[in-house]
């Protein structure tokens, strides 16, 4: 598993680590803007979940599921801890990355180097709307070919308008790390198309059973938790965020207007909310 590390603190072994975990079809460079804002204060680690970005692909596609991703993160955290002992650990998870964080924080017996102190769940919760699962399933796993980065960026924008307003330069930078070169020329998406295999095999009934388990995990979270929501999200409903504020860690929600699933944490207001929560300043802070 590849990961990207950001550290401008002047201490290469800084004991405060923030892990940023990306969404289903994304990769760790999604967090470049947020990492730049955080890294003068903390060490920021942004993994490419297996099958995405620079990480290896699995021989068995049925492994592309949350339990394996969570196990990989435990290995990553142990590796980081061995190199420079962690004293403070925070987690920022977008969509799938939030579910990974929920699994890690909701099981007290897991061998984390230190407990997660603060958890940011970006447009995801224990209840996931089935229409959003169907929407994502319609494009997940396709392997289109693009002639140029601009062509790829334009095509991805058609599927990603829910991310909300971005300048052309912001979107181009987000898109740059979403593609890889093909041996015979051109570009294709950076991930293993087989990540769609277990996703498409998921039945609605099984998703409902999984939701009950996720609520059990959520109720056991000890980390101070913040929920971010795109006001137009089709994956995280207002009803779910209300329930998340009333049980378990009783997480408050910050909602971003004009955004669906999911906030990219590129816009200054989005970055400021996360930075304030993690660094203990102002609203959502200490």
Same domain as 208, residue 89: yes
Is 81 domain-assigned?
A: yes
CATH of the domain at 217: 3.40.50.1820
Question: Could you give the 3-state DSSP secondary structure of residue 255?
Answer: strand
Is 56 domain-assigned?
A: yes
Report the domain count for the chain: 2
pLDDT score for 161: 86
- Asked if 89 contacts 112 with a C-beta cutoff of 8 angstroms, the reply is yes
Sign of CA dihedral 80, 24, 51, 275: negative
What does the alpha-carbon distance between residue 161 and residue 175 come to, in Å, rounded to a whole number?
13
pLDDT score for 131: 87
For the stretch 114-147, pLDDT in tens is 999 999 999 999 998 888 888 988 889 888 999 9
Burial pattern 47-83, b for ≥16 Cβ within 10 A else e, equals: bbbbbbbbbeebeebebbeeebbbebbeeebeebbee
- Which residues have CB under 8 Å from 28's CB, separation 6+? 2, 3, 4, 20, 22, 46, 47, 48, 53
pLDDT at residue 29 tops 80: yes
pLDDT at residue 282 tops 50: no
Phi, psi of 159 (to 5 degrees): -95, -10
Q: Which two tokens stand for residue 240?
A: 């779910």
Same domain as 185, residue 209: no
CA atoms within 13 A on the CB side of 72: 21
Q: What is the pTM of this model?
A: 0.95
Distance spanning both ends of the chain, measured CA to CA = 33
Is 285 domain-assigned?
A: no
Is 159 domain-assigned?
A: yes
pLDDT at residue 284 tops 60: no
Strand partners for 226: 120
Same domain as 40, residue 119: yes
CA distances from 51 to 73, 202, 218 (A): 14, 19, 26
Same domain as 31, residue 95: yes
Same domain as 146, residue 130: no
Same domain as 54, residue 186: no
Average pLDDT for the chain: 94
Same domain as 161, residue 125: no
Same domain as 272, residue 154: no
pLDDT score for 283: 37
- Asked if 231 contacts 262 with a C-beta cutoff of 8 angstroms, the reply is no
The percent of residues in the chain predicted with pLDDT above 90, rounded, is 85
pLDDT at residue 281 tops 70: no
What does the alpha-carbon distance between residue 262 and residue 142 come to, in Å, rounded to a whole number?
20
Residue 153 structural domain: 142-190
Is 175 domain-assigned?
A: yes
Is 214 domain-assigned?
A: yes
Same domain as 232, residue 148: no
Is 150 domain-assigned?
A: yes
For the stretch 72-110, pLDDT in tens is 999 999 999 999 999 999 999 999 999 999 999 999 999
Is 195 domain-assigned?
A: no
For the stretch 166-198, pLDDT in tens is 999 999 999 999 999 999 999 999 999 999 999
Least-confidence region, from 34-48, 203-217, 238-252: 203-217
pLDDT at residue 11 tops 70: yes
Q: Which two tokens stand for residue 231?
A: 């006001």
- Which residues have CB under 8 Å from 63's CB, separation 6+? 50
pLDDT at residue 69 tops 90: yes
Same domain as 125, residue 31: yes
Omega of the bond leading into 262 within 30 degrees of 0 (cis): yes
Same domain as 23, residue 132: yes
pLDDT score for 79: 97
Of 238, 188, 187, 248, give the one whose Cα is nearest residue 214. 248
Of 261, 247, 258, 255, give the one whose Cα is nearest residue 273. 255
pLDDT score for 142: 87
Question: Which element (helix H / strand E) includes 16?
Answer: strand 16-21
Same domain as 227, residue 174: no
């Amino acid at each position: 598993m590849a990961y990207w590390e950001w550290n401008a603190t002047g201490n290469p072994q800084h004991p405060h680590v923030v892990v940023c975990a990306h969404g289903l079809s994304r990769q760790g460079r999604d967090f470049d803007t947020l990492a730049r804002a955080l890294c003068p204060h903390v060490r920021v680690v942004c993994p490419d979940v297996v099958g995405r970005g620079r990480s290896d692909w699995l021989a068995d596609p049925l492994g592309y599921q949350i339990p394996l991703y969570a196990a990989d993160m435990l290995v990553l955290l142990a590796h980081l801890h061995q190199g420079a002992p962690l004293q403070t650990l925070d987690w920022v998870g977008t969509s799938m990355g939030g579910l990974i964080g929920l699994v890690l924080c909701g099981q007290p017996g897991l061998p984390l180097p230190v407990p997660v102190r603060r958890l940011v769940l970006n447009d995801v919760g224990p209840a996931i709307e089935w229409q959003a699962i169907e929407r994502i399933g319609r494009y997940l796993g396709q392997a289109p070919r693009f002639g140029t980065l601009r062509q790829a960026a334009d095509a991805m924008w058609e599927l990603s308008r829910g991310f909300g307003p971005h300048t052309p330069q912001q979107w181009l930078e987000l898109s740059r790390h979403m593609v890889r070169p093909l041996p015979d020329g051109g570009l294709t998406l950076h991930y293993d198309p087989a990540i769609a295999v277990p996703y498409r095999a998921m039945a609605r009934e099984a998703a409902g059973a999984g939701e009950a388990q996720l609520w059990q995990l959520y109720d056991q979270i000890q980390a101070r938790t913040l929920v971010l929501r795109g006001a137009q999200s089709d994956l995280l409903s207002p009803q779910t965020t209300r329930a998340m504020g009333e049980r378990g860690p009783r997480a408050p929600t910050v909602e971003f207007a004009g955004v669906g699933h999911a906030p990219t944490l590129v816009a200054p207001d989005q970055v400021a909310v996360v930075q304030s929560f993690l660094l203990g300043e102002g609203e959502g802070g200490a």
